[in-house]
Amino acid sequence: MTVNDKRRLKFDLTIAGSLFAAGVLVSVMSLAQIRAESRMELAQATPPLQGTPSDDQNKPAEAKPGGDRPTTPAPEPARPDPQTQGAATKPALPPAPAEKIAPPIEKK
């Protein structure tokens, strides 16, 4: 080995060692942070419950016994458009050309 080869090998090993040490350092720091966060999560309490909504919001009128109907109209059932009613029966793709259709499989 020449002197130049030895110097190049020493330089390469120094770079490799420093990269390895940096990787180990990052891994140790990440594990320490994960452990610290998991301990904080164990001590965390549940959030407080939300209160009941106020009466200011629009709500439907209550039905009264005796036949009175509520003043708000009931929701109407969904009615599809006439042009979309037949769309479910139409095929998504046109039929394949005759040269691309294989003969039926024979049963054994």
Residue 14 pLDDT level (bands cut at 50, 70, 90): very high
Q: Which amino acid appears at position 44 of this protein?
A: Q
Please, are residues 61 and 72 in contact by the beta-carbon 8 Å criterion? yes
Model confidence at 42: pLDDT above 60: no
This prediction's pTM: 0.35
Residue 1 pLDDT level (bands cut at 50, 70, 90): confident
Q: How far apart are CA 107 and CA 100, in angstroms?
A: 21
Model confidence at 51: pLDDT above 80: no
Please, are residues 61 and 73 in contact by the beta-carbon 8 Å criterion? no
Please, are residues 60 and 70 in contact by the beta-carbon 8 Å criterion? yes
